[in-house]
Amino acid sequence: MPADSSAAAIVALDPAWRPAATESLRLAAAGDGVLYLLTSPSGGGGSSSGSAPSLRRLTLATGEAEVLELSRVSATPAGLFADPHSSTSVLIAHANGDTVYVHRSRSRVLGKARGLLITAVAWLRPDPSRSDTREVLLGSSSGAIFEAALEPTRTSRYRQLFTLSPPAPLCGLAAEPFVSQGAPDDKRLFVLAATPTRYYEFVGPASLEALFASYRELSHLGHVEVEGPPPGTAWPPPHKGCSLDFDRRRGQEGGGRGSGASPPSAFAWLSARGVYCGSLLFGAQAPRDSCVYDSEMRPYPPAADLAQSSGAGSASPAALRWPPLSLALTELHLLVLYGGGVAALSRLSGELMCVARPPAACGPLLGLVREPAQGGLWAWGEGGTLRVSVNREERHMWRLHLEARDFETALACCSPGAPSQRDLVLAQHAEHELSRGAYTLAARQFAKTGKSVEEVALRFLSLGQKGALQTYLFCKLDAMDERHAMQGTLLCTWLTSLFLERLEGARGLEGSGRGEAEAAAAEFRAFLSERHRRLSRPTTYALLEAAGRHAELAHYAQLCGDHERLLLLHLERRQPAAAIAQLRSLLEAAGGGGEW
């Protein structure tokens, strides 16, 4: 399926916020209901060039922006990490290893973390009894994982928990609490740590120290590994964009994604070779078990496909090729951000569905952030932020499920206003059943399509499948509006002919074949009883007489109330007693009577 580059594409980028003409946006992050926007004078990267950066907290509901106080650091800001559970806390990592913690409107440098280049942060859900304390996991450029308890004026706890071997920069950290299945008091914790080429799972008790202690004892730490980036290409700094995202839609109350949200059902990891996707299941895991299942790698789209889908825009197609900078999960798609746009890949097939391009004023894109409370997405570059809109992303899902031969799901995904989609799914389902010899199932599916009766009938007749043809005609008849009397009569007459052929083929059979003939005769009589009003009487009489089916002829005439026909039939068959009884019935019906 060609990627959609039209105005009605699945993904659109709409301008949202722009810095002043003398400023450039350097970093962005999202908290609960807010965006944090770190800017510096255009042409300067931050404090190292003598130009102090500025941090704004933009409240999404009102559009109001508050400038926050920043402790001065003589280095370039390198990473911005917001607390997803609140609108009050954010960390700013700097290239020299200094980290500034901003809480509400005040900031301080984390003295205990000096010299540590933080590249990933996981914010744990806050303890309601300690509203001003934030517990975090800090991931470093050397693969070390630290625990810290951040208070407004001090860091009350700071310790190293684990170091990856071999060392590699952490580009994503996530921590999810859950309870053991059947034991609600047994609280546990799941931590996912990602580098550009590996991801690690840590599953165990809710205590961070106890959790990581059980893994420090292992001589070999289990992980999933992929190849490094293609030869001759560079991977972006791990702290520049989001490398992990989660699907939290299931079980959410009120649509929120904040601290009260249910555990995620799936995740995506931006690896050096593609987007690695997996489903998540929490509850029955023992310590050191895995919470990931049904995982697979989705390769990045080929450069040629990205270039073809780019269309006219602000950046050259080459800006879409490498490297991917960030990602996000939607209900049905993977959004992969490149400097020149956002590519939407189907979660079902990995197919490139469309590419959304930024306006020229935004410049190359640098990152993608998700606001956790409502799940809104923003792309950003030096020229500001862009609201990422996902429009009718289910529109192509019917075709993708159809290509995967998941016919029932494809049918459910068809648009109510596009009957041609439904007809195509039903027709391909019928062809699939036909190809594997399931003729009766094929007949039932064909009957739901708009294909002509003659076309389908010829298919079954050419295969010698008169039984399937009979099933098909019955299904068409059952679905037909009774106002289409002529079509109904034609189908019933055709079915009568098929019954008579079947009965003729069973004539004279002995043993089990005789039982089959009796069953066919009983089925035919039931058909005549149910459908006699839709049959043409002269045509049916002629067919039954030509086939020598006198018993069925008498049955049909009785159903039609044709007493004269019955009387003649008995006389022709030299059945005087039956003829007299029929004549008496005829006289009584006419209001006569008397003794014979």
Reduced 3-state DSSP string for 442-463:
HHHHHCCCCCCHHHHHHHHHHC
Reported as half-sphere exposure (CB side, CA atoms, 13 A), residue 163 has a value of 7
238 — pLDDT class (breaks 50, 70, 90): low
**172 near 120, Cβ under 8 Å?**
yes
Tokens of 147: 């625990």
Q: Give the torsion sign (CA, 348, 350, 352, 355).
A: positive
How confident is the model at residue 513, as a pLDDT? 60
The residue that leads in pLDDT, 6 or 102, is: 102
The rounded distance, in Å, linking the Cα atoms of 476 and 449 is: 10
The rounded distance, in Å, linking the Cα atoms of 437 and 258 is: 52
The residue that leads in pLDDT, 18 or 42, is: 18
Full strand arrangement of the beta sheet holding 341-346: 326-329, 333-338, 341-346, 352-356
Largest separation between any pair of C-alpha atoms in the chain: 127
* Among the ranges given (271-275, 372-376, 471-475, 587-591), the one the predictor scored with the smallest mean pLDDT: 587-591
**Residue among 454, 427, 452, 462 at smallest CA distance from 442:** 427
Q: How many other CB atoms sit within 10 Å of the CB of residue 558?
A: 17
228 — pLDDT class (breaks 50, 70, 90): confident
Q: Torsion angle of alpha carbons 572, 577, 578, 579, nearest 10°?
A: 50
Using one digit for the tens of pLDDT, what is the confidence trace for 32-90? Answer: 999 999 999 987 655 555 578 999 999 999 999 999 989 888 899 999 999 999 999 99
7 — pLDDT class (breaks 50, 70, 90): very low
How confident is the model at residue 237, as a pLDDT? 58
**562 near 515, Cβ under 8 Å?**
no
How confident is the model at residue 46, as a pLDDT? 57
How confident is the model at residue 259, as a pLDDT? 41
Residue 163 has pLDDT above 70, yes or no: yes
- What contacts 116, CB < 8 A, 6 or more positions away? 97, 99, 138, 140, 144, 146
Residue 181 has pLDDT above 50, yes or no: yes
The answer to whether the predicted template modeling score (pTM) of the entire model surpasses 0.85 is no
How confident is the model at residue 397, as a pLDDT? 87
Full strand arrangement of the beta sheet holding 54-59: 23-31, 34-41, 54-59, 65-68
The rounded distance, in Å, linking the Cα atoms of 104 and 255 is: 26
**Residue among 381, 419, 380 at smallest CA distance from 398:** 419
Using one digit for the tens of pLDDT, what is the confidence trace for 134-144? Answer: 999 999 999 99
Q: Is the peptide bond before 358 cis (omega within 30 degrees of 0)?
A: no
Tokens of 93: 């990592």
**188 near 177, Cβ under 8 Å?**
yes
Residue 4 has pLDDT above 90, yes or no: no
The rounded distance, in Å, linking the Cα atoms of 459 and 435 is: 12
Tokens of 206: 């809710």
Radius of gyration of the chain measured on its C-alpha atoms: 36
Using one digit for the tens of pLDDT, what is the confidence trace for 503-512? Answer: 988 776 655 5
Residue 484 has pLDDT above 70, yes or no: yes
Residue 149 has pLDDT above 50, yes or no: yes
Residue tagged 């450039």 (tokens): 24
Mean pLDDT calculated for residue range 446-472 = 95
- For the chain, which domains are there? 11-395 (2.130.10.10)
How confident is the model at residue 185, as a pLDDT? 81
Q: What is the DSSP letter of 205?
A: E
Q: What amino acid occupies position 210?
A: A
Q: Torsion angle of alpha carbons 233, 237, 238, 243, nearest 10°?
A: -60
Using one digit for the tens of pLDDT, what is the confidence trace for 395-408? Answer: 888 988 998 899 99
Residue 219 has pLDDT above 90, yes or no: no
Query: Angle at the Cα of 232 (from 44 to 224), degrees rounded to 5?
Result: 95
* Beta strands 365-370; 341-346: pairing state: unpaired
486 — pLDDT class (breaks 50, 70, 90): very high
Q: What amino acid occupies position 171?
A: C
**Residue among 571, 26, 145 at smallest CA distance from 583:** 571
How confident is the model at residue 63, as a pLDDT? 93
The residue that leads in pLDDT, 131 or 253, is: 131
| Number of DSSP helices (H) and strands (E) in the chain, helices first | 14, 28
Of all residues in the chain, the percent with pLDDT exceeding 70 is 86
Q: What amino acid occupies position 43?
A: G
459 — pLDDT class (breaks 50, 70, 90): very high
Residue 256 has pLDDT above 80, yes or no: no
How confident is the model at residue 241, as a pLDDT? 64
Residue 294 has pLDDT above 60, yes or no: yes
Q: Give the torsion sign (CA, 550, 554, 555, 557).
A: positive
Residue 519 has pLDDT above 80, yes or no: yes
3-class SS of residue 345? strand
How confident is the model at residue 451, as a pLDDT? 94
Residue 6 has pLDDT above 50, yes or no: no
